[in-house]
Structure 1
Amino acid sequence: MRHNHKIAKYLYLKRAGLGELSLPSRPSPDGLMASETNSPTTYPARTPHTAVDTAQDYWEEPNFGLALRVPADKQAKTARGHTFFNGNGVYHESELEHRVSSVLQTLFELRELQSQYPKVHYIDADGVQREHTFDYFIVLNDGTRVAVAVKYARKRVEMLDLLDRICAAGITGVGPLGKLTPRVADAVALMTNEEATQEAFENAYFILTSRLHHDDAECDSLVDVVKRLPGQFRFGDLLRDVPTRDKRRTAIWRLIDLRLIAPVYSGRIDDRSWLRACA
């Protein structure tokens, strides 16, 4: 479902459960968001994500990492902006790029995410040397580096041809003054609207929100609940008879993020979705 009006999209997300996501707790003395309890976390730790320091009274210039170009802030026909991953600003120049960026940020093994990087060279069909700047660059926990191109599925064939040519040239990066560096990535990938669907984007939104706004004690309690449930269960089943539905809902998304529970079927996750505990 597409929402061309911001208010319509807000109301849609609110109906989907945005209104029941818990708010961040008060900041601790060190400036990081702290949970209301100091209960120890009993589930696997993820790569730490930098929280906003609400205690500071000064503005700090965002760090956009390896980005080789700065997209214009506004453009009449596209949605532009940026998000943050592990303290690093990540540009997007369209609605599709925003969806791809959000989906990438939910990858379990993701360690680093850069935008507008790397710039590589290739030889086109006429034998002319060209350059191409990838939309995203990811590094996984095992060190694997992947350059990610973003295009709509209708351009898949021509983009795959371009990626083949880039690979044939050794994924060779173009640095300052035209300096060439081979193997600036271990692989290349294409993500389209068929991978970064609206449903995947909405799931990613709630997962990313839960990283900052979850309550550790509620997550611990939910882990115990899930252990007692046999087989499959619905998302909504986990919301029954709880004192604070907002904290429980956020905890569910956090456990999905941690791969402690998983959807049985693909698509958008809502209160009727079937979930299962992960082994």
Structure 2
Amino acid sequence: MDTESLTEKRVAFVLLARTDVAKLENQVLFTWGQEDGPKERHTFDFRATMVDGSRVAIMVKYDKKLSDEKFIAKSSRIVAHVTTDFADRVTLLTEKHLDPVAVHNAILFNAVRKPDPDADAVMRDAVSNLIGAAKIGDLIQHTGLGGRGFRSIARLIGAHELELQRPARIDYDSYVMRRAA
């Protein structure tokens, strides 16, 4: 996915990790104007299609832009022209909207996205009868998978087969549990 800034890349990773986002498009062109007249254009950084079918056009900007009156006026004009055939709503995200824990975990999910079928099968078996929470490091030690086990657990969390006991950066000391059905 092509992004134009580190903040955009982080937003993309976080959005892709969310369970309510079904599809994410980037650099989406939006045009408006009279049919027989000149068109105006704006490229939204992302458009997320949610699992409920609604679509959200997303602008990603640095927080300092929010104090720029020209930017606010231009953004307001763009938003006023967005119709439901393009997006159901528009949102603006800055680096300050990003939770560092969510960013860390989303980057990890992206890094481990390539399956390891053997390790994943061993880890799925190890957690299949898990009651309550278990420390990631203990599960890895139990399976003998080492780093492959850590990556497998991260994939299982990213796939929502496991969940963290509490919001935290995924590491060997984190506790995971089977996701409630």
Q: TM-score range by the shorter chain?
A: 0.7 to 0.9
CA distance in 2, matches of 1:156, 1:272: 38
The corresponding residue for 2:106 is: 204
TM-score by length of 1: 0.52
The corresponding residue for 2:91 is: 189
Task: Name which of 25, 29, 50 aligns with 1:118.
Answer: 29
Please give the residue correspondences for 1:2-151 in structure 2 after superposition, counting only pairs within 5 Å. 90-120=1-31, 131-151=41-61
TM-score by length of 2: 0.76
The one-letter code matched in structure 2 to 1:140 is: M
**Aligned partners of 2:61 and 2:94 also within 8 Å:** yes
**Aligned partners of 1:108 and 1:257 also within 8 Å:** no
**Aligned partners of 1:118 and 1:184 also within 8 Å:** no
**Aligned partners of 2:168 and 2:174 also within 8 Å:** no
**Aligned partners of 2:29 and 2:41 also within 8 Å:** no
For residue 207 of structure 1, report the CA deviation from its aligned partner: 0.9
Unaligned runs of 5+ in 2: 34-38
The corresponding residue for 2:122 is: 221
CA distance in 2, matches of 1:277, 1:229: 7
Q: SS at 1:118's partner residue?
A: strand
Distance change (3 Å), C-alpha of 1:95 and 1:222 = same
For residue 197 of structure 1, report the CA deviation from its aligned partner: 4.1
Distance change (3 Å), C-alpha of 1:230 and 1:155 = farther
Q: SS at 1:116's partner residue?
A: strand
CA distance in 1, matches of 2:138, 2:67: 44
Unaligned runs of 5+ in 1: 1-89, 123-128, 173-181
The one-letter code matched in structure 2 to 1:257 is: G
**Aligned partners of 1:109 and 1:141 also within 8 Å:** yes
Q: SS at 1:256's partner residue?
A: helix
The one-letter code matched in structure 2 to 1:272 is: D
**Aligned partners of 2:150 and 2:172 also within 8 Å:** no
Task: Name which of 243, 246, 262 aligns with 2:163.
Answer: 262
The one-letter code matched in structure 1 to 2:137 is: G
What percentage of residue pairs aligned between the two structures are identical? Answer: 30
Q: When you count strand as a share of all residues, which structure comes out higher? A: 2
Distance change (3 Å), C-alpha of 1:243 and 1:232 = closer
The corresponding residue for 1:244 is: 145
**Aligned partners of 2:122 and 2:143 also within 8 Å:** no
* Residue-pair matches, total: 173
**Aligned partners of 1:99 and 1:198 also within 8 Å:** no
The corresponding residue for 2:36 is: none
Q: SS at 1:119's partner residue?
A: strand
Q: When you count helix as a share of all residues, which structure comes out higher? A: 2
